[in-house]
Chains A and B, each alone.
Chain A
Amino acid sequence: MQEAIPYRRWATNQNNSSSSTSSTIYLKGPEGHDLKRIVEETPVLIFMKSGDCMGHVVKRLLQGLGVNPCVYEIDDKDEKRICVEIMGIIDGGGGRDGEGVQFPVAFIGGELFGGLDRVMATHITGELNLVLKQAGALWL
């Protein structure tokens, strides 16, 4: 039976390496980051606003599954700019509605996955696990 690393064991590992955040990559956005490339090349990517507790929830949930998400933190002043950039990436990939993107938002395997609602729902049904495996983010 294929399953993610059992939760309890992973939590212990996290505690041991709590000082080093090397398991989770944090990016902060000065200009010059090629967002498109980052989205395409990162298996699991979370865009969230700095200090947003809901983004923290997404991060913890994915970490709990044994995944190393890349977290891109956005300051208030950069929010609009990055929002526009992300919309550009999404639309280029095949058109969503014109509403702005809500943070936190997750990209899995280069594709827009959704916000906390979707992550939570798919986690409960088991769909998230499948998507993560397909994206090569989980290999157990």
Chain B
Amino acid sequence: MNYSSTQFVTPNSMTYEPVQQTGFWGDFTVNGFVNSPSPFILEVDGKLSNQSEDSSHGMVGILDGYDQEDSKRGEKSGLQVSRRLAQNREAARKSRIRKKAYVQQLENSKIRLLQLEQELERVKQQGQYMGEGVDASQLGYSGNPKPGIETFQVDHGHWVEEQNIQTTELRNALKSQIGEIELRILVDSCMSHYFNLFHMKTIAAKADAFYVMSGMWKTQAERFFLWIGGFRPSEILKILIPRLETLTEQQLVEAGNLKQSCHQAEDALSQGMEKLQQILSSTIAAGQLGEGNYLPQMDAAMERLEALVRVLNQADHLRRETLEQMARILTTRQAARAFLALGEYFERLRALSSLWSSNPPEPA
């Protein structure tokens, strides 16, 4: 058999260049076999990629058609054939690897998409309180949030997770016999965590003051207590102070002063806010209401809105100062208990919001 002299080599032991480099699995075609003149080779290729065992038989069957005169040419083309077949096999193998990688990439994207959808669902739930329906672009809040706000929403989600972790750490630390220094470190990091939030809110307020003002980034129950884009510091003190046992006389006096100062500062800021509302209202209503052209009023109103950022910043400034002063009055252990109480308080509010979302009241 003239075939027997042909070396039948496996792809592994052969050195050659792949016939065609393809960067993407989908591009792979049988056209890798560019310099093949004989159509019958292509048929064989299809069999070859699946059954390497039988390939030699197939080949023999086909090449049996050659007569003696073409033996040399047969030999040569036999070599070419076997080389092309090997190249084909290699190309097919690479194609399988690429396909596998591509499918893996698709799987990862699918998981990522699911995560994003869950995140969106969570944010939508927060927006449903406004009763605007499930319109994703509205999120229950008129006007699409400006750029920078989506970042804030994601960051705030992380902030809440970290907050819950810290609350748990405090709980465990206070149960254990943790030392003063370690407890202090924990307290300080809780404080810094709140400062981070105020910093985030400052940036978000510059991006979209109305959004921060609306509190849409908080859960429903938290929003019920909203005061200028966040929690009311005096309310927090009213909750925390009675729950701190072992306050000395001095501490009680100082805590009382803090509560009163906080209340006064809040009232001043609230009145500033009312003043801004008055000014904005009269700016918008200036001129003839009904004449239909109000561009100048819009320009003036936009300028006035800059003050809203300052009010929001000042409210966060007050929150920060109040927390700092509270920590100054208290011992490390007392401060730890205070932060634990505060953390759990907010946790409970968020839990209430979740419960509310899954059990809305019956329509009347």
| Chain A contacts for B264, CB-based, 8 A | 7, 61, 64-65, 123
Contact indicator B318/A124 (Cβ below 8 Å): yes
Contact indicator A124/B272 (Cβ below 8 Å): no
Fill in one digit per residue for B157-175: 1 if any A CB lies within 8 Å of its CB, else 0: 0000000000000000000
Tally A-B pairs: CB < 8 A: 68
| Chain A contacts for B257, CB-based, 8 A | 126
CB distance from B326 to the nearest CB of A (A): 10
A: contact size bracket: 20 to 34
Contact indicator A53/B272 (Cβ below 8 Å): yes
Answer yes or no: A81 CB below 8 A from chain B CBs: no
Answer yes or no: B352 CB below 8 A from chain A CBs: no
Contact indicator B321/A53 (Cβ below 8 Å): no
The distance in angstroms between the C-alpha atoms of A48 and B217, with both chains bound, is 34
Within 8 A of B (CB), among A1-42: 1, 6-7, 11
Contact indicator A60/B271 (Cβ below 8 Å): yes
The distance in angstroms between the C-alpha atoms of A43 and B121, with both chains bound, is 57
The distance in angstroms between the C-alpha atoms of A124 and B265, with both chains bound, is 8
Fill in one digit per residue for A42-54: 1 if any B CB lies within 8 Å of its CB, else 0: 0000000001111
The distance in angstroms between the C-alpha atoms of A22 and B245, with both chains bound, is 46
Quick one: closest B residue to A61, CB to CB?
B268
Answer yes or no: B325 CB below 8 A from chain A CBs: yes
Interface pick from B6-14, B146-154, B307-315, B331-339: B307-315
The distance in angstroms between the C-alpha atoms of A56 and B311, with both chains bound, is 11
Binding site secondary structure of chain A: helix
Are A7 and B265 also in contact (CB < 8 A) when A54-B272, A57-B271, A120-B317 are?
no
Answer yes or no: A84 CB below 8 A from chain B CBs: no
Are A117 and B275 also in contact (CB < 8 A) when A57-B268, A61-B264 are?
no
| Chain A contacts for B279, CB-based, 8 A | 51, 53
Quick one: closest A residue to B253, CB to CB?
A1
Contact indicator B314/A120 (Cβ below 8 Å): yes
Are A120 and B310 also in contact (CB < 8 A) when A7-B260, A61-B265 are?
no
| Chain B contacts for A61, CB-based, 8 A | 264-265, 268
Contact indicator B322/A57 (Cβ below 8 Å): no
Answer yes or no: A121 CB below 8 A from chain B CBs: yes
Residues of A within 8 A of B (CB): 1, 6-7, 11, 51-54, 56-58, 60-61, 64-65, 116-117, 120-121, 123-126
Sample of 20 A–B contacts (CB below 8 Å): A7-B260, A7-B263, A51-B279, A53-B310, A53-B311, A54-B307, A54-B310, A57-B268, A57-B269, A60-B272, A61-B264, A64-B268, A65-B264, A117-B314, A117-B317, A120-B265, A121-B317, A123-B261, A123-B265, A125-B325
Beyond A53-B311, A54-B314: 13 further Cβ-contacts under 8 Å? A51-B279, A52-B307, A53-B273, A53-B275, A54-B307, A54-B310, A58-B268, A60-B268, A65-B264, A117-B317, A120-B317, A124-B261, A126-B261
